[in-house]
Amino acid sequence: MKAVLLEGFGGAEVLKVGEVDKPTPKENEVLVKVMATSINRPDLVQREGKYPPPPGDSEILGLEVSGIIEALGPNVAGWKVGDRVMSLVGGGGYAEYAVAYANHLMPIPESMTFEEAACVCESYITAFLNIFMLGEFKDGQTAILHGGGGGVNTAGIQLCRALAPTSRLIVTASPEKMERVKAVGADLLINFRETPDFSEIVKEYTSKKGVDLVLDHIGAKYLAPNMNSLAYKGKLVIIGVTSGIKAELNLALMMVKRQQIIGSVLRSRPVSEKGEIVAEFTRRALPKFADRTIIPIIEKVFTIDQVADAHLMMEEDKHFGKIVLKIGA
């Protein structure tokens, strides 16, 4: 089968399309004929050699797929060959065929295209898990979502608008993307280039109360302003550390304000835990895709042969929402 391979680790030039053996589904797995996948920031880090796949997962890039079930491994119930599905995969999405655990599959609603479905599993499930399951975010509450132009947080804004319609969203973004972020559903926009310490603006906006939740992938540089923006019993969920991994924390303030800092990853969770998250997402969020309340925002669809251009677009932060790689015809 055709797949995107790495000729060593490095820049987008190491991505080469080549031929490898089709994978075989093992117990509780299915083989998916991949129609599309999407580019996620961690793919770039894996390409650079700094984010190896979990043991046992494919070395091929790609954390999610949409496609058609081609074959069932032993012990799979509830799915059949020919079903239109989307799924998280531990790796292997940038290929004509990928294996997925049966309990990670979701049916693609009839109203959705394969390109749209290829955007759902990594970004939307990450946003859903951290905002609604770990962050316990509710209608009427206020959150800060950082980087509202990216895959995870365009998804985060859309999910909050659909599942917690009266919540208030403070969103950081680059000036070029602020208008589009506002259109997706942000209430207050903060230009992160001009205002690296956003906590005073947040205090003013929330009448000094602070926010109930911060979803952060910036890490060290934002720890202080994030904590200064949190309300009593507020939660800071950290899903990335792009600015660094070490920062100072005032433990006394955190204790007195009964705040929580939660670290979270999706990819390396046990198969059963990911299955539970997918089940909860299927129950609460998938109907919002089926009825078109949420339509994934796609910046551009590339073909598999244009994979290096797709990575460069993300590397240069030129995208808004998701970048799709079309694999099957």
Ligand X SMILES: NC(=O)c1ccc[n+]([C@@H]2O[C@H](COP(=O)([O-])OP(=O)(O)OC[C@H]3O[C@@H](n4cnc5c(N)ncnc54)[C@H](OP(=O)(O)O)[C@@H]3O)[C@@H](O)[C@H]2O)c1
Residue numbers at the binding site for ligand X (CB under 6 A): 40-42, 122-123, 126, 146-147, 149-152, 172-174, 177, 192, 217-218, 239-240, 242, 264-266, 314, 317
Separation between Cα atoms, residue 241 and residue 222, nearest integer Å:
10
Min CB(152)–ligand X separation in Å: 4
Separation between Cα atoms, residue 200 and residue 182, nearest integer Å:
20
Min CB(240)–ligand X separation in Å: 3
Nearer to ligand X, 110 or 316 (CB): 316
Min CB(116)–ligand X separation in Å: 16
Tell me the three state secondary structure of residue 158.
helix
CA atoms within 13 A on the CB side of 167: 29
Nearer to ligand X, 38 or 167 (CB): 38
Nearer to ligand X, 69 or 154 (CB): 154
Nearer to ligand X, 218 or 324 (CB): 218
Min CB(78)–ligand X separation in Å: 26
CA atoms within 13 A on the CB side of 21: 4
Nearer to ligand X, 149 or 185 (CB): 149
**C-alpha dihedral over 225, 226, 231, 233, to 10 degrees?**
-140
DSSP secondary structure of 194-253:
T-S--HHHHHHHTTT--EEEEEESS-HHHHHHHHHHEEEEEEEEE---TT-S-----HHH
User: Which contiguous run of DSSP H or E holds residue 35?
Assistant: strand 29-39
Min CB(269)–ligand X separation in Å: 9
Contact 100, 53 (CB under 8 A): no
Nearer to ligand X, 20 or 241 (CB): 241
DSSP secondary structure of 10-26:
SSGGGEEEEE-PPP---
Nearer to ligand X, 259 or 264 (CB): 264
Residue number of the CB closest to ligand X reads: 150
Contact 220, 249 (CB under 8 A): no
Nearer to ligand X, 183 or 256 (CB): 183
Min CB(314)–ligand X separation in Å: 6
Min CB(12)–ligand X separation in Å: 14
Min CB(192)–ligand X separation in Å: 4
Separation between Cα atoms, residue 283 and residue 277, nearest integer Å:
10
